[in-house]
Amino acid sequence: MNLIIVESPTKAKTLGKFLGGEYSVEATAGHIKDLPKSKLGIDVENNFKPDFADIPKKKDIIKKLKSEGKRAKVVYLATDPDREGEAIAQHVQDILNSDSKTKRITFHEITKEALEEALADPHEINGNLVDAQIARRVLDRLVGYKLSPLLWKKVRRGLSAGRVQSVAVRLIVEKEREIKAFKSEEYWEIFSEVKGRTEEEKNKFTVQLIKVGGKTAEIKSKVDADKIISDLGKAGYKVLDVRKKEVSKAPYPPFTTSTMTQAAARIFGWSSKRTMSIAQKLYEEGLITYHRTDSFNLSKQAVEGARKFIEKEYGKNYLPASPKFYKTASKVAQEAHEAIRPTNINRQSITGHEPQDGNRLYKLIWSRFTACQMNPSLYDETVIDVEATPGEYLLRAGGQIMKFDGWRKVIPARLDVDGTVRLPEVSKAEDLKLIKTWGDQKFTLPPARYNEASLIKTLEKLGIGRPSTYAPTISTIQVRNYVEKSEGKFSPTTIGEAVNDFLIGNFPDIFEYKFTAGMEDDLDRVANGETKWTGVIKEFFRPLEKKIGTVDKKAKRVKIETEKLGKKCPECKEGELVIRLGRFGKFISCSRFPDCKYTEKYLEKVGVGCPECKIGDVIIKKTSKGRKFFGCSRYPECKYASWRSPKKEEKN
DNA sequence: CAGTGAGCGAGCTTCCGCTTGACTT
């Protein structure tokens, strides 16, 4: 009997089906060894020797792997083909304590063919790649476990800093400052509605002013706008040019974790956590491929299946001459898995036995994948340039008509994005008749705050964080009270800003947007054998250690600004009431603390009456661990508490 | 899941990345 060890239990099940009786398959369910949680676990004086120990929660799994490993003739370490997977393979070999019968195999897609190829080509564990993982792990631990305690001392207890989370907070803080510094400016868009002299009334069209005297039109005031509108109202209009061309629009590439959570947020309004948990269920039921991935790769089988399906279902016109493969854009992508796709393209929907949300996400994944193997959609685009004289005004209209839907057959265009604009037939030098002319006053808008989707997109673009950590990172920065989400948009708290300024002020290099990219370059050199991991860490840590020492000695404790309520303290009648953030969320107290100890509850109402006492209001509260719950405003008289928001009363 | 902040100095907090349940009190 031979044993194959993979990371995901679902993957183990699937592989089991491909194989005959001479193989058994077990799963590690992720890492089985890690640095200890309760201490640093790195001997910084002894070449950064890391203390990788069995993870307590994985005790049963480790036991099982050991016993199965003992019985097996050959153990194939088939963990994911990336840096973390190589480390897991090493850890499995370590616990089996027998490198003579272990072999490393790798494959990038879960097909019988790929598995057989891998089994025919076993090799050794790549020690350099394992070293790169150690360097990554040690660096993250040093940043997190050295800087967090500094925050406890200099800001407040329980705070945290990390290579990823602190940059996520930084993005949100800096966006907020951009918004605060933003000055809205007035501008005007000016239009004329015209029609050809010989044309019917229905063939009128609208042109927009784009140039004045050969220069781009920039109209910043009502006075300027009125002058132009008056000119245009008296002007003669003539077609200067008509340009037509055919434009094709290619489909989107298949989903990765990042683009899937973005699409689900945009279309369904889901949080990344919710999307990922629904995707997990679909994956476990064998309906989709693995959902934590940064790769656009598609198995040959899947692409062939899609091509057959497209030809049969939609016809030859929709099928490209050759299969489409997408190149992963991200430099830091690890490409261990395929893109996210349905496992069987003939299954168009999973209605019936599934919760509704599962089906919605499934259909989104199905159509994105199917579309990616279809022909581009084709449009006739028309641009009409119109001259208005006197005054050297250039106005323009753009039209677009879809003449072949292509992949849009399965992902119909939303009207606002890809709508049809029909323009009448006019010819060059044709005179046009003015119907009316007008201006729209507009104001430039401040940059948009991040939502989950745009934050993930930005982090991915910067190469910071991984598919498995996007959703957890977003919860961490909220649980720590660094940022708040209101109507889906993130803004920093006073604590978030204070911690951000402290970290960036004292450790500018680590929280630079480019830091992770630089780290990845170093890790690549470790993986290639060009340099040793201990050297990389030493070079990083020695200056950091020194800096931590001086900050510890010299930096003053950070004062966190409080939000004033504009009311006097009812107890001492001297201080002012302010909102503070404690371990249990917001509360109101006297600004003269600790001289005056007055406090009162901060009520964040849900807008629903207490279902228990029927007198108080339901309010949002936080546990000491940051989890939200709902309680009664009359606590402690009324002890109502619930994890779920009570139902709002139906209004007719 | 029921009291917060400062500082007292008992013992504790904290990272990222890989993978799933066990909890819905």
All structural domains of chain A = 2-125 (3.40.50.140), 137-181+451-554 (1.10.460.10), 186-250+377-443 (2.70.20.10), 257-371 (1.10.290.10), 563-651 (no CATH)
Q: Is the pLDDT of residue A472 over 50?
A: yes
Query: What is the band of A605 on the pLDDT scale with cuts at 50, 70, 90?
Result: confident
Does at least one atom of strand B sit less than 7 Å from the CB of A331? no
**CA angle centred on A506, ends A502 and A511, rounded to 5°:** 85
Query: What is the band of A652 on the pLDDT scale with cuts at 50, 70, 90?
Result: very low
Q: Is the pLDDT of residue A98 over 80?
A: no
DSSP string covering A254-281:
PB-HHHHHHHHHHHH---HHHHHHHHHH
Q: Is the pLDDT of residue A157 over 80?
A: yes
| A3/B20 CA-to-C1' distance in Å | 21
N- to C-terminal Cα separation, chain A: 67
| A161/B17 CA-to-C1' distance in Å | 16
A257-268 and A272-284 are packed helices; what angle lies between their axes, rounded to 10 degrees?
Answer: 120
Helix (H/G/I), strand (E/B), else coil: A308: helix
A628 φ, ψ to 5°? -75, 140
For the segment A604-628, the average pLDDT, to the nearest whole number, is 73
- How high is the pLDDT of residue A628? 66
Q: Look at A39-43, A275-279, A613-617 and tell me which has the smallest mean pLDDT.
A: A613-617
More confident residue, A64 or A335: A64
pLDDT tens profile A198-234:
656 667 899 999 999 989 999 999 999 999 999 999 9
Beta-carbon-side half-sphere exposure of residue A299 (alpha carbons within 13 Å): 24
**Lookup: tokens for A33:** 């060894």
d(CA A133, CA A527): 9
Count other C-beta atoms under 10 Å from residue A383's C-beta.
14
Q: Look at A25-39, A404-418, A461-475, A617-631 and tell me which has the smallest mean pLDDT.
A: A617-631
Contact between residue A123 and residue A104 where contact means Cβ atoms under 8 Å apart: yes
Of A307, A314, A362, the residue nearest A340 (C-alpha): A362
- How high is the pLDDT of residue A423? 87
A558 φ, ψ to 5°? -80, 130
Query: What is the band of A352 on the pLDDT scale with cuts at 50, 70, 90?
Result: low
- Write down the catalytic residue from A290, A314, A393, A482: A290
Does at least one atom of strand B sit less than 7 Å from the CB of A39? yes
Does at least one atom of strand B sit less than 7 Å from the CB of A536? no
Q: Which residue is nearest to nucleotide B15 (CA to C1')?
A: A144
Does at least one atom of strand B sit less than 7 Å from the CB of A616? no
For the segment A332-361, the average pLDDT, to the nearest whole number, is 83
| A38/B11 CA-to-C1' distance in Å | 12
A10 φ, ψ to 5°? -65, -40
Does at least one atom of strand B sit less than 7 Å from the CB of A622? yes
Closest nucleotide relative to residue A640's CA, C1' based: B1
Of A592, A596, A557, A562, the residue nearest A578 (C-alpha): A562
**CA angle centred on A573, ends A571 and A574, rounded to 5°:** 125
d(CA A322, CA A311): 13
- How high is the pLDDT of residue A571? 80
- How high is the pLDDT of residue A534? 98
pLDDT tens profile A508-536:
999 999 999 999 999 999 999 999 999 99
d(CA A50, CA A5): 25
Of A504, A581, A446, the residue nearest A173 (C-alpha): A504
| A581/B2 CA-to-C1' distance in Å | 16
d(CA A294, CA A339): 7
d(CA A354, CA A147): 46
d(CA A543, CA A561): 31
DSSP string covering A193-209:
EEEETTS-GGG-EEEEE
Q: What H or E segment, with its residue span, contains residue A4?
A: strand A2-6
For the segment A125-150, the average pLDDT, to the nearest whole number, is 97
- How deeply is A324 buried, as exposed, middle or buried, from its count of CB atoms within 10 A (0-12, 13-18, 19+)? middle
- How high is the pLDDT of residue A118? 93
pLDDT tens profile A294-304:
999 999 999 99
Distance of CA A254 to the CA centre of its chain: 16
Does at least one atom of strand B sit less than 7 Å from the CB of A53? no
| A625/B23 CA-to-C1' distance in Å | 15
Which A residues 474-493 have CB within 7 Å of strand B? Answer: 476, 480
DSSP E strand boundaries for A197-346 = 205-212, 215-216, 236-249
Does at least one atom of strand B sit less than 7 Å from the CB of A317? no
Distance of CA A7 to the CA centre of its chain: 24
- How high is the pLDDT of residue A134? 98
Q: Is the pLDDT of residue A650 over 50?
A: no
Active site residue A598: no
Of A192, A195, A217, the residue nearest A207 (C-alpha): A192
**Lookup: tokens for A96:** 């089996």
d(CA A322, CA A34): 46
